[in-house]
């Protein structure tokens, strides 16, 4: 199975770049399943229902989120209406929406996708992500109820992300980190066969501070005083993500490599998809 994960869409420039390029990527790379993190898609803060639906219409099979999931008030209302919209699974019981789901890929495979949020340097501090993952895996084991299992681990600390990867190694197909908006250079397959990357990076303008117009963040570092609101940068976007090939026989990863398309970072498409 060929799976593509795209990192956090930031603002209009990030989301429109994904919408423009994703249909062609699905066709050209013969992708079976696509996941997009959309938690910063609405001006850099949260996601609206219209943006979610447009992302699905562009070809995403699932949209994941993170700590900004509720920044747009309408998300509380629409989260429960769409199975393909995920918020972190370790929110307390009774939170609107769902944190995981079983979906069907274009090749017929059953794909379990789970969205979990870390706790180190993160707000709000949610329930234990490791225990939440254990519950998810116990309910839908790999190669029993699911042919592939993917975790979007939305977290700040790379140490927490790496430990989570090792925790589910051999029991999940792929663990990818989101939240920090900077693509890491550690795409690998862990000892037990789980593909792993600490952060997929963002889909947004990299002439920025994490996708936000750089002037206000720079001012706050220098002066310690806000001058105005944070605004999403509006320059040309680079699409960042990661591609994984998953064995139909075992549900574990066979290949992993980053994907980057855009004007600022060196462009790369996984060699095994060329």
Q: Check the annotation: does 82 bind a ligand.
A: no
Answer yes or no: is 166 a known binding residue: no
Contact assessment for residue 50 and residue 14, using Cβ atoms and an 8 Å cutoff: no
Q: Is 67 annotated as a binding residue?
A: yes
Helix (H, G, I), strand (E, B) or coil at 112: strand
Check if 166 is active-site: no
Q: Of 68, 82, 123, 166, which residue is the catalytic one? A: 68
Give just the sign of the alpha carbon dihedral 66, 44, 260, 121: negative
DSSP codes of every residue in 182-193: S--S--EE-TTS
* Alpha-carbon separation of residue 258 from 52, 60, 124, 200 (angstroms): 24, 18, 30, 8
**123 annotated binding-site participant:** no
Q: Is 8 annotated as a binding residue?
A: yes
Strand extents, DSSP E, the chain: 2-6, 8-9, 33-37, 62-64, 100-104, 110-117, 148-154, 174-178, 188-189, 195-197, 202-203, 239-246, 253-261
Backbone CA torsion sign across 240, 202, 98, 121: positive
| Residue 50 marked ligand-binding | no
Residues 26 and 53 sit within 8 Å (Cβ to Cβ): no
* 57 marked among binding-site residues: no
Residues annotated in a binding site: 8, 39-40, 67, 154, 179, 181
> Residues annotated as binding site for Fe cation?
8, 39-40, 67, 154, 179, 181
Q: Mind telling me the catalytic residues?
A: 68
């Amino acid at each position: 199975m060929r799976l593509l994960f795209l990192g956090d869409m930031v603002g209009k420039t990030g989301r429109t770049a994904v919408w423009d390029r994703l249909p062609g990527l699905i066709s050209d790379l013969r992708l079976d399943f696509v996941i997009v993190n959309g938690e910063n898609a609405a001006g850099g803060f949260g996601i609206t229902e219209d943006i979610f639906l447009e992302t699905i219409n562009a070809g995403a099979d699932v949209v994941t989120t993170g700590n900004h999931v509720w920044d747009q008030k309408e998300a509380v209302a629409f989260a429960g209406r769409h199975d393909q919209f995920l918020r972190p699974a370790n929110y307390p019981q009774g939170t609107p929406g769902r944190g995981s789901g079983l979906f069907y890929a274009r090749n017929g495979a059953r794909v379990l996708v789970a969205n979990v949020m870390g706790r180190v340097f993160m707000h709000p501090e949610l329930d234990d992500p490791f225990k939440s993952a254990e519950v998810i895996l116990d309910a839908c084991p790999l190669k029993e109820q699911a042919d592939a299992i993917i975790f979007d681990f939305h977290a700040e600390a790379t140490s927490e992300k790496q430990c989570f990867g090792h925790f589910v190694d051999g029991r999940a197909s792929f663990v990818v980190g989101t939240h920090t908006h900077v693509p890491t250079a550690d795409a690998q397959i862990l000892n037990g066969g789980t593909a792993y990357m600490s952060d997929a990076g963002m889909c947004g303008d990299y002439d920025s501070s994490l996708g936000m117009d750089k002037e206000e963040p720079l001012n706050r570092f220098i002066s310690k005083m806000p001058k105005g609101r944070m605004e999403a940068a509006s320059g040309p976007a680079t699409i960042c993500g990661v591609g994984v090939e998953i064995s139909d026989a075992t549900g574990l990863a066979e290949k992993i490599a980053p994907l980057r398309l855009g004007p600022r970072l060196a462009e790369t498409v996984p060699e095994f998809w060329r």
